[in-house]
Chains A and B, each alone.
Chain A
Amino acid sequence: MTVAEFCLMLKRYGFNFSTGVPCSILKDIILYLSSHSDIPYIPATREDEALGIATGAYLAGRKPIVLMQNSGLGSAINPLTSLDMLYKIPMLLLISWRGYQGKDAPEHLIMGEVTIKLLEDISIPVQVISKDDPEEAILASIKSMEEKQIPAAAILRRGIIE
């Protein structure tokens, strides 16, 4: 799936606001969102700030996406657990997976190994986006968001959306 097809799919499912902190895996998606007004992208300084901005957008009736690198999960845990899960504020977390299968720069290896487990430990629904059918993970995430009214994570590895 191309970046444009992926972003148009997100638009088709009603997402209409995005914020986050960049990652090289997400760079083309962020570039696309930044240059198209359908899903405006607000660059945040940190992942927790991004979750705050997305929460405000949700309260204002938007359907937000938060993009971040998995290294930023550390900054995101507190607002996920004490804001969005607590107040029942759903949003799509599009999280890149650095350190996947232990093949990456050293700073990504520990977080890369525990990314899925960390999300599962705090009971955030998590899906890994596949190359064959990227829509499947997004649909499953939307289903979780609607059923549980909390954020759901879709994990993006390098080379899946091009």
Chain B
Amino acid sequence: MKRYEAIEMISQSLNGNELVISSTGMISRELFTIRDAPQNFYMIGSMGLASSIGLGLALSLPEKQIIAIEGDGSILMNMGSIATIGHFAPKNLIHIVLDNGTHDSTGGQATVSDTVKLEGVAHAAGYRLTQTAASKEELRKAITRLSQQGPAFFLVKVEEGGLEGMGRVLHSPEEIKNRFQKRAIGI
């Protein structure tokens, strides 16, 4: 499964009321290209913090479904976030890691995710629901569980490489914030 196929399947399953935080680099660029929406907060810096931003949102807006999507390189930079999320265990937070084993956005350098059981880490930290999906069929099944009580951790194994001819996020950071915040709290 390609990363963009996973992003496409996940975004197609959403009803539009969720708030989505997408990690810096290829994940935000692919999400933007596949389905741009005001409820997407595209990160263009601060790699590693997608799940932390998701936690701050989830704790403050308990009635909203929050989805943080990042790569293996990103979560490995901020493993402490798994501990904090597991501890506070917000029911409305879904944490998705698209694991291709590399830092794809910077040239494909290997991460150490092939030997680290990230799903096990999330489970041990206190996430209520954890699941690994290594094929489209498994991801399809996992997606049916998105509405279950969180915090949920989905580890999605994807291939290296991305969408051909993919653009960059065209909105300015301030625009991304303003339209996201409007969707989040109506101002």
Contacts and interface: CB of A to CB of B under 8 A. Distances in A.
Interface in A64-93: 64, 78-79, 81-83, 86-89
Interface string B146-187: 000000000000000000000000000110110011001101
Contacts of A56: 21, 52-60
A149 to B, nearest CB: 8
Contact of A48 (B43, B48, B51, B83): B48
Main secondary structure, interface of B, reads helix
Contacts of A64: 56
A48 B46 contact: yes
Nearest to A61: B185
Given A59-B181, A60-B56, A61-B60, A52 B88 contact: no
A49 interface: yes
A54 B54 CA distance: 10
B80 interface: yes
A43 B84 contact: yes
A20 B137 CA distance: 41
A141 interface: no
Interface in B10-54: 21, 41, 43-46, 48-54
Interface residues of B, number: 35
A54 B49 CA distance: 11
Given A48-B78, A61-B60, A87-B176, A78 B184 contact: no
Contacts of A19: 56
A81 B47 CA distance: 12
Contacts of A52: 46, 48-53, 55-56, 78, 81
B61 interface: yes
Given A17-B60, A83-B46, A53 B84 contact: yes
Given A17-B56, A46-B80, A57-B60, 5 more contacts: A52-B53, A59-B180, A60-B60, A82-B44, A82-B45
11 contacts: A19-B56, A45-B80, A49-B78, A51-B52, A52-B81, A55-B53, A56-B59, A60-B56, A61-B185, A78-B45, A87-B174
Interface of B: 21, 41, 43-46, 48-61, 78, 80-81, 83-84, 88, 173-174, 176-177, 180-181, 184-185, 187
